Amino acid sequence: MLQKENISDILRFLAGFLLSLKLLFESFGLTFITNDQIDAIINVASFLFILYFGYKNNYVGKKGLEQKELLKKHNLH
């Protein structure tokens, strides 16, 4: 279900869902969620997404440090 490759799809779906829900409720005169709240949710989700992939795509973890040493050993880094 939730795989690493699907995170960006899930973020887009969440944003679309919140915006469509907002439009639905506004058509009945109800204020469900404001644009500022939607922006805040998307900003937090984007921050977490960037933080996660920034960590995964750099040589900071144990596996990454091992990979970096292997690259240096073969003069590829």
Tens of pLDDT along the chain (77 residues)?
556 667 778 888 888 888 898 889 889 998 877 888 878 988 998 898 899 888 877 877 788 888 888 888 998 87
- 3 state SS of 57: coil
pLDDT of residue 28: 92
Instruction: Give pTM, 2 decimals.
Output: 0.54
* Domain boundaries along the sequence of the chain: 4-73
Compute the distance between CA of residue 49 and CA of residue 54 in angstroms, rounded to an integer: 8
Closest residue by Cα to residue 7 from 37, 47, 38: 47
pLDDT of residue 7: 77
